[in-house]
Structure 1
């Protein structure tokens, strides 16, 4: 990790503040190209950076060598010592002008044609399958960190950052959206790669609706909104090690998914329900989703 300051990059605009602090659009003084800068302050030990941060950044840089078309490029990592206890780590990513949220807002009525949804989903799942095959969880998939280039190329951003920022997150009271969170994350039980598939299902539905599928304002409310669509799972499917018990929710039968998504095709509805499966072990994987008949119908 380069111990120089990020003077090579000249900030030109604030892109916005995520859960992880401000993001800046900047110009690389050496090449003239635009980049996105994300900085985080990490607590340091005697040897400089905490090992966990070094490890996470090394992992992100290792993924870089594959140069995957659906993954945003990490161009550089700069570390600047601020005080003895604190180091500022700046991650320099390629800059893409729009995210999926903006992209969907620009779509004229009646919405995206199915071939376009199919293309976006295929690219999203390719990026995700790549991350999962490298044992990287995204953990925070939502339309804001799925970038879409002017040529329609999908690139996943902000993956792996949750781990780097988790220690820092405790210090920042940020409202993080629950809308794309899987039931196992909402219930605070163990989670693995299926948590990203749940988020992908929510995003898939949003491509048809052009508005989010489940808009809860608390963990319980979010779960209630989910069960109103997929039904309350059987009691024996409920995880055992959680504070929220199954009895907290009223029994509900699953609704036909076409009630909230009249435009979805039959195969699309099948795939969506395989992604929005309560039990993470029964949820479809990214690789299997790519093989789904929805993509060839």
Structure 2
């Protein structure tokens, strides 16, 4: 008996230690604690379907509760795994939402739930009544004519606060756009959809450029394709990110260069619109020089997207609504003027042509003259009644060609725009609007950036066929 008692004591201590460890783990990482069944929730209505998941509205079953949540069913392979294991986009979305869970302007992840099979994984998040793109269309079609200047300022302050918080946590979103910004009926804006987000500048998640050439059709202008994500795990960052209308010029240039090099090495013809591009022709022809290494993009790609959203808030329309990447570059050129080594000193490096074009640095006078010229072009593209001096200057700093000169989120929050009249509107003063997410009817449809996955099915999410007989187990 003594011998049995002697062996029983360590077992009890082991059980206590295991319990303590589970408690610590649950407190430190509540979203990865033992997952509940999704059947704890009752589905109410479908909200939307995107590249990485289907989102619907739900509420707790037991005990019954009037509180509503948004549930996102992740798109994973039938057995829950793809060629690289559990989908990296899903892991990143869970990780980034967990890291940013304390920020007031990032959508909150409550828990991760599971279904009956390995491919049924659900993110339970707070419910927000609107997305900004739908609200912009609704207000533009109504007598209001868009958000008031004071409301735009409030929304921009919240958006910049969220992006500054993400970047402080070493997170780059990589798909900021008006449809990924959610808003409730109390005027609170929150950043959502972290399917493309990842850590950067951290030894745990190496920040090494690794762009992949697009192998899709000429009309492909969507964000990163899920089948490309595995290549990023080989040690680099893919340039297949950010929806076209919000995509920074350095990403557009990177993709041009990689597609040209791929076309040259594989001898496969590229789309006609790309073959007509001078940069593409330079890289797709044989050269005695070896391919030059390209720079790595930074979190400043998010800031270009913020600038595009700012312009959209001011005008209720996308500023650069390109149909493909060459057209996107043309539209940016039309509004800002073309990139030069005066406004972008490292331009030839981003074009992969540093060995061909060595240019003398511009003088301060030339740089200032060029900046004033581009700022005047930008002002001419926007309605004067909506553009204060501070708004124009902030927008200009967000839409700098050179990512090194592009303002950071933390710097933008300190910009004089937020101190000038009119003062920021209080969020409670925004009022309420019909909620598409809650199944309420709104005026008109919202245009979407072109997406290759919608080819043949109409343009954008509004036209995508969807069965309301959605089943958790499906």
TM-score by length of 2: 0.54
Structure 2 residue aligned with 1:272, among 395, 398, 402?
395
Task: Give me the whole-angstrom Cα distance separating, in 2, the residues matched to 1:36 and 1:62.
Answer: 19
Q: Could you say which structure has the larger radius of gyration?
A: 2
SS in 2 for 1:282: coil
1:237 is aligned to 2:343: no
For 2:125, which of 74, 93, 118 is the aligned residue? 93
Which residue of structure 2 lines up, in the alignment, with residue 284 of structure 1? 407
2:69 matched to 1:35?
yes
Q: Distance in 2 between matches of 1:241 and 1:274?
A: 20
Distance 2:163 2:110 in 1: 20
Give 1:219's aligned residue: 325
Aligned-residue offset at 1:224: 1.2
CA distance in 2, matches of 1:62, 1:196: 18
Indicate how the Cα distance of structure 1 residues 12 and 102 shifts in structure 2: closer, same or farther if over 3 A, else same. Answer: same
Alignment partner, residue 250 of structure 1: none
In structure 2, how many angstroms separate the alpha carbons of the residues matched to 1:93 and 1:227?
Answer: 40
The answer to whether residue 198 in structure 2 is matched with residue 198 in structure 1 is no
For structure 2, the residue ranges without an aligned partner over 5 or more in a row are 1-31, 199-222, 230-241, 255-294, 358-372, 421-474
Question: Where do 1:48-197 residues align within 5 Å?
Answer: 49=86, 54=91, 57-64=94-101, 66=102, 68-80=103-115, 82=117, 87-107=119-139, 108-159=143-194, 161-163=195-197, 168=226, 170=228, 177-188=243-254, 190-197=296-303
For 1:241 and 1:231, how far apart are their aligned partners in 2? 18
CA deviations over 1:1-57 (Å, ceiling 9, x no partner): 3444311122211111122232111122244421112122155389x8468854652
Structure 1 residues 274 and 25 mapped into 2: Cα distance closer, same or farther (>3 Å)? Answer: same
For normalisation by structure 1, the TM-score amounts to: 0.83
Query: SS of the counterpart of 1:192?
Result: coil
**Relative contact order (alpha carbons < 8 A, sep ≥ 6): 1 or 2 greater?**
2
Task: List, as ranges, runs of 4+ consecutive aligned residues in structure 1 with deviation greater than 6 Å.
Answer: 164-167, 243-247
CA distance in 2, matches of 1:288, 1:113: 24
Relative distance call for 1:76 and 1:244 in structure 2 (3 A) is farther
TM-superposed deviation, 1:240: 2.8
Give unpaired runs (5+ residues) of structure 1: 248-252
Query: 3-state SS of the aligned residue for 1:75?
Result: strand
SS in 2 for 1:256: helix
Following the alignment from structure 2 to structure 1, what is the Cα–Cα distance between the partners of residues 350 and 393?
Answer: 30
Counterpart CA distance in 2 for 1:56 and 1:143 is 19
| Greater fraction of residues in strand | 1
SS at match of 1:38: strand
Instruction: Compare 27-36 and 276-285 and name the one that shifted more.
Output: 27-36
| Contact 1:187–1:242 (8 Å) recurs in 2 | yes
How many residue pairs were aligned? 282
Relative distance call for 1:132 and 1:27 in structure 2 (3 A) is same
1:128 & 1:273 partners in 2: Cα distance?
A: 18
Q: Give the distance between the partners of 1:71 and 1:154, measured in 2 at CA.
A: 8
Once the 2 structures are TM-superposed, how far is the Cα of residue 232 of structure 1 from its aligned partner?
1.1
Provide closer, same or farther for how the CA distance between residues 19 and 50 of structure 1 changes in structure 2, counting only shifts above 3 A. closer
1:56–1:19 distance in 2 versus 1, CA, 3 Å:
closer
CA contact (8 A) 2:337 2:377 kept: no
The 3-state SS of whatever aligns with 2:56 is strand
Q: Is residue 2:381 matched to residue 1:260?
A: yes
Matches of 2:193 and 2:247, distance apart in 1: 16
Matches within 5 A, 1:4-23: 4-23=36-55
Q: Give the distance between the partners of 1:242 and 1:275, measured in 2 at CA.
A: 21
Deviation at 1:202, TM superposition (A): 0.6
Structure 1: distance between partners of 2:69 and 2:129: 10
Question: What's the C-alpha RMSD, in Å, of the aligned pairs?
Answer: 3.1
